[in-house]
């Protein structure tokens, strides 16, 4: 059976298999979430939420946000390079132009602490209690930069009773993973916990030009220490210290061979026998490059019950570091030299000669946050109010090493050759200070009807300094030439400051139908602050900021459990209007050798659609879970050079996406039990630019994953066989175009499989 045939039949195959199972007295378990910053049954929360507990995460083999994304309706995640993951919910996200002042559209929190830089959202997650994805603007309780949604990650807390676990995994591609924890009481009032994680994977993208050059190798490790102290019954303190690092070879990108001058050049090299045609997981690079990320943080959470009111304080400090160096095209310099060309005029080609472009990033950031929150409840009223403060300092250097004398001369004139080789970079220093006050209350008008209203006011100031330089480089030492009278540095330097203020609100009416259903209607707004695009002599935007992004979301939904609590269906129908949407645009620059991409505001956009999640217990042992998302998106108003793209679809917004999974639990009497799971994932084509260029889009793809696990009778040992992408589907994590060269693709990992052994002591 072909992959395309299986893609169409897999969901119906799963459903048909399930229908032959007999029913029993199985009942749905309650799912507890904290989407409204209090513990509640998922079915009572009038928000579109996908929740995964510890067991669900283990069965699906999820260890990072990307694993959550493929299983959450309306959620997509791409990766240009490991330092810049791209989180999109309902077609809205942040692609990033390298701005130190840039923000995310999807806010991520770990134990209530905001993850401020995009590199942190892609780090490994371990010893996790639950992950919740809140879809749609969440500006009231979760704050700025949740204009598309929020991700709420909760780790497992320490216990006074002794607990420990060790998990060892080995698989193909040299994959190894060791993780575990030890938890227990230090005194009768203090519990401590240490969690560790270490992971390795070999490269999966290789060069046909130089077999010794490989991309995609990864080594990561993480540690978390927690102390929980309860001096009195009404006061609990949780101290968390964490550290993680992630080291990889350069970006695992491959050049597109279906359009542009890059494709033409590679075809000519293949026709001459200079190189063979690269496969899906191959490129033509002669440079391995590297990526290095580091994160460390500390937080203190206090919960103090004062009568009927609880005071919560969360204080945190986080430091992030990211460093990256890679070939801009992953094509060897010798191929460019022999086959590269420049189209000087229509139909007129000039040999390009020497052409080398290498990209680099060096970023450090520090974030301090403080949140105070009061919460209370009575028979009819649940309420909370709070204050939030954050200060972030980010220093970022981003640029490229460039050596192409002919191209530089063609663009810059005779003096252009003096700037080849050269370094074109932006040194950015940004300080963001944010203040917010918020509150939300839910009032029960009757036993069945509740009304909720919340509001938040945010003020944010950004102080930004940019030093953009283009400096010639010595061909002997490889270092910038300082003070050379023939090639003085080109500079664009400025200091700017801007303040943004925004109120956001949320209003909800929800009605309980009987004992097992709830319907709701809501209106909510979101806010994503503005910023400044990085500027270099090749792409100067001077001191013009891009403005804040605003959203209004209208949504109706239903959450129901039926058929004797064996079927759960949650649905949402929504329409979100965005104003001043922040999008990447190619900088209009007649003197740019390679025009940069920068963030600008682009008028209005609409995202509307339907989301559905379902769970059905055919028996105590056989469970079906599935989800579906339909997205209809459009750029309604675009200005400037993007005017002709009006009416196109939003980025990373597949029209259809769905998942279907069957889990079967087989008791073996006194010999333990077996658990099996098979899962199917499908996503439609997703465009990667406002122009909706097909060759730069991510084509549709489908994945089949599986797991078979044996658990000992005492339930302290587990051995599992697992596989991801079992049909070895070839698909991309990210595509982007580079006119006039064509497109660059970032392929996902091929089929992976392995064995995991877990020991627990509770």
Mind listing the pLDDT tens digit for each residue in 618-652?
A: 999 999 999 999 999 999 998 777 888 899 999 99
Residue 450 confidence (pLDDT) above 60:
yes
Among the listed residues 481, 511, 328, 503, the one whose alpha carbon sits nearest the alpha carbon of residue 404: 328
Residue 5 confidence (pLDDT) above 60:
no
CATH at residue 272: 2.40.170.20
CA–CA distance, 131 with 65 (Å, rounded to integer): 9
Residue 19: per-residue pLDDT: 33
134-160: pLDDT as tens digits: 999 998 999 877 899 999 999 999 999
Contacting residues for 178 by C-beta, under 8 A, at least 6 apart:
166, 167, 168, 169, 196, 197, 198, 199
E strand or H helix at 163? strand 163-171
Strand order in the sheet with 282-283: 214-215, 205-207, 282-283
The 10 Å Cβ neighbour count of residue 22 is: 7
Share of the chain above pLDDT 70, in %: 90
Contacting residues for 563 by C-beta, under 8 A, at least 6 apart:
none
Residue 102: per-residue pLDDT: 81
Asked if residue 738 lies in contact with residue 400, where contact means CB atoms within 8 angstroms, the answer is no
Residue 464: per-residue pLDDT: 92
**How far apart, in Å, do the first and last CA atoms of the chain sit?**
46
CA–CA distance, 390 with 116 (Å, rounded to integer): 10
Q: Mean pLDDT lowest for which of 236-240, 555-559, 597-601, 732-736?
A: 597-601
Among the listed residues 629, 700, 615, the one whose alpha carbon sits nearest the alpha carbon of residue 661: 615
Residue 496 confidence (pLDDT) above 70:
yes
Residue 21: per-residue pLDDT: 34
Asked if residue 178 lies in contact with residue 195, where contact means CB atoms within 8 angstroms, the answer is no
Average pLDDT, the chain: 89
Among the listed residues 16, 52, 18, the one whose alpha carbon sits nearest the alpha carbon of residue 617: 18
Q: How far is CA 348 from CA 104, 344, 345, 351, 409, in A?
A: 43, 6, 5, 10, 17
Q: Is the pTM of this model over 0.85?
A: yes
Dihedral over Cα of 152, 158, 160, 162: its sign: positive
Residue 11 confidence (pLDDT) above 70:
no
CA–CA distance, 749 with 91 (Å, rounded to integer): 24
CA–CA distance, 731 with 436 (Å, rounded to integer): 42
Residue 271: per-residue pLDDT: 94
Residue 234: per-residue pLDDT: 96
Q: Mean pLDDT lowest for which of 54-58, 298-302, 543-547?
A: 543-547
Residue 96, classed as helix, strand or coil, is coil
Find the domain containing 311 and state its range. 3-761
Residue 20 confidence (pLDDT) above 50:
no
CA–CA distance, 737 with 652 (Å, rounded to integer): 15
Q: Where are the alpha helices (DSSP H) in 273-342?
A: 333-339
Residue 98: per-residue pLDDT: 61
Number of domains in the chain: 1
167-205: pLDDT as tens digits: 999 999 999 999 999 999 999 999 999 999 999 999 999
150 phi and psi angles, rounded to 5 deg: -145, 150
Residue 280: per-residue pLDDT: 95
Residue 600: per-residue pLDDT: 81
Tokens at residue 463, please?
């102080």
Residue 69, classed as helix, strand or coil, is helix
Residue 265: per-residue pLDDT: 93
Residue 533 confidence class, pLDDT cut points 50, 70, 90: confident
Residue 283 confidence (pLDDT) above 90:
yes
Residue 14 confidence (pLDDT) above 70:
no
E strand or H helix at 8? helix 3-19
Residue 312: per-residue pLDDT: 98
Give all strands (DSSP E) within 352-448, no chain letters.
Answer: 356-377, 381-403, 422-444
Of residues 18 and 198, more confidence is placed in 198
Residue 77 confidence (pLDDT) above 70:
yes
The 10 Å Cβ neighbour count of residue 457 is: 15
551, β-bridge pairs: 526, 578
Residue 99: per-residue pLDDT: 78
Tokens at residue 432, please?
């963001």
Residue 144: per-residue pLDDT: 75
Residue 259: per-residue pLDDT: 82
CA–CA distance, 756 with 713 (Å, rounded to integer): 18
Q: Mean pLDDT lowest for which of 50-54, 131-135, 421-425, 658-662?
A: 421-425
Q: Mean pLDDT lowest for which of 46-50, 395-399, 581-585, 634-638?
A: 581-585
Q: Which burial class, exposed, middle or buried, applies to 669 when counting CB atoms under 10 A from its CB (0-12, 13-18, 19+)?
A: exposed
Among the listed residues 391, 394, 523, the one whose alpha carbon sits nearest the alpha carbon of residue 459: 391
Secondary structure tally for the chain: helices H, strands E: 7, 44
Residue 9 confidence class, pLDDT cut points 50, 70, 90: very low
Asked if residue 423 lies in contact with residue 399, where contact means CB atoms within 8 angstroms, the answer is yes
Give all strands (DSSP E) within 486-621, no chain letters.
Answer: 490-513, 517-528, 531-532, 545-546, 549-562, 567-579, 582-586, 597-601, 604-617
């Amino acid at each position: 059976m072909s992959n395309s045939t299986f893609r169409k039949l897999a969901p119906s195959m799963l459903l048909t298999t399930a229908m032959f199972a007999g029913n029993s007295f199985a009942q749905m378990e309650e799912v507890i979430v904290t989407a409204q910053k209090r513990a509640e049954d998922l079915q009572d929360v009038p928000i579109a939420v996908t929740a995964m507990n510890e067991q669900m995460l283990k069965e699906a083999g999820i260890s990072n946000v990307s694993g959550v994304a493929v299983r959450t309706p309306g959620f997509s995640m791409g990766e240009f390079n490991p330092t810049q993951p791209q989180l999109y919910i309902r077609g809205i996200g942040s692609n990033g132009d390298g701005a130190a002042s840039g923000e995310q559209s999807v806010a991520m929190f770990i134990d209530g602490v905001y993850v401020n830089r995009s590199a942190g959202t892609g780090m490994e997650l371990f010893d996790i209690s639950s992950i919740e994805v809140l879809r749609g603007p969440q500006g009231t309780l979760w704050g700025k930069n949740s204009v598309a949604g929020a991700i709420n990650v909760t780790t497992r807390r320490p216990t006074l009773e002794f607990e420990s676990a060790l998990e060892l995994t080995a698989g193909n591609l040299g994959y190894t993973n060791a993780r575990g924890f030890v938890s227990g009481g230090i005194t009768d009032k203090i519990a401590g916990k240490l969690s560790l994680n270490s992971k390795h994977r070999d490269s999966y993208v290789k060069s046909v030009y130089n077999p010794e050059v490989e991309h995609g190798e990864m080594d990561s490790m993480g540690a978390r220490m927690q102390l929980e102290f309860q001096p009195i019954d009404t006061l609990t303190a949780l101290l968390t210290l964490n550290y993680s690092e992630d080291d990889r070879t350069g970006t695992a990108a491959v050049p597109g061979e279906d359009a542009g001058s890059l494709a033409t050049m590679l075809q000519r090299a293949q026709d001459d026998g200079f190189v063979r045609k690269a496969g899906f997981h191959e490129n033509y690079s002669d440079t391995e490059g590297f990526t290095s990320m580091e994160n460390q943080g500390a937080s203190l959470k206090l919960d103090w019950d004062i009568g009927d009111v609880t005071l919560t304080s969360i204080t945190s400090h986080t430091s992030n570091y990211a460093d990256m160096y890679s070939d801009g095209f992953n094509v060897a310099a010798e191929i460019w030299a022999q086959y590269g060309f420049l189209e000087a005029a229509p139909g007129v080609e000039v040999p390009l000669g020497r052409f080398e472009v290498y990209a680099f990033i060096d970023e450090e950031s520090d974030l301090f946050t403080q949140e105070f929150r009061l919460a209370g409840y009575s028979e009819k009223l649940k309420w909370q109010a709070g204050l939030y403060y954050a200060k972030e300092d980010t220093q970022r250097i981003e640029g490229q090493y460039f050596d192409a004398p002919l191209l530089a001369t063609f663009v810059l004139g005779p003096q252009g050759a003096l700037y080849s080789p050269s370094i074109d970079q932006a040194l950015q220093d940004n300080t963001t200070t944010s203040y917010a006050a918020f509150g939300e209350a839910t009032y029960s008008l009757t036993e069945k009807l509740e009304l909720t209203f919340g509001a938040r006011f945010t003020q944010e100031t950004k102080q930004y300094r940019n030093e953009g330089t283009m400096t010639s480089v010595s061909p002997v030492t490889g270092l910038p030439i300082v003070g050379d009278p023939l090639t003085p540095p080109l500079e664009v330097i400025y200091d700017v400051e801007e303040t943004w203020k925004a109120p956001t609100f949320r209003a909800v009416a929800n009605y309980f139908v009987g004992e097992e259903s709830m319907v709701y209607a809501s209106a909510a707004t979101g806010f994503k602050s503005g910023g400044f695009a990085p500027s270099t002599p090749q792409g100067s935007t001077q001191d013009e900021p891009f403005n804040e992004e605003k959203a209004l979301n209208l949504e109706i939904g239903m959450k129901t459990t039926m058929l004797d609590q064996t079927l759960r269906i949650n649905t949402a129908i929504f329409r979100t209007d965005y104003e001043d949407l922040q999008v990447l645009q190619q900088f209009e620059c007649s003197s740019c050798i390679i025009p940069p991409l920068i963030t600008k505001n682009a008028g209005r956009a609409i995202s509307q659609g339907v989301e559905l999640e379902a769970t059905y217990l055919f028996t105590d042992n056989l469970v079906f879970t599935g989800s579906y998302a339909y997205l209809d998106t459009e750029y309604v108003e675009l200005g400037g050079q993007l005017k002709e793209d009006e009416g196109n679809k939003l980025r990373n917004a597949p029209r259809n996406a769905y998942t279907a999974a069957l889990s079967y639990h087989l008791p073996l009497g006194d010999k333990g039990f077996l658990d099996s799971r098979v899962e199917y994932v499908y996503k439609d084509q997703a465009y990667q630019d406002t122009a909706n260029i097909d060759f730069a889009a991510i084509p549709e793809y489908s994945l089949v994953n599986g797991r078979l696990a044996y658990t000992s009778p005492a339930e302290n040992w587990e051995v599992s066989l697992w596989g991801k992408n079992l049909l070895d589907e070839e698909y991309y994590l990210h595509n982007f175009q580079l006119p006039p060269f064509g497109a660059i693709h970032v392929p996902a990992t091929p089929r992976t499989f392995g064995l995991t052994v877990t020991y627990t002591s509770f």
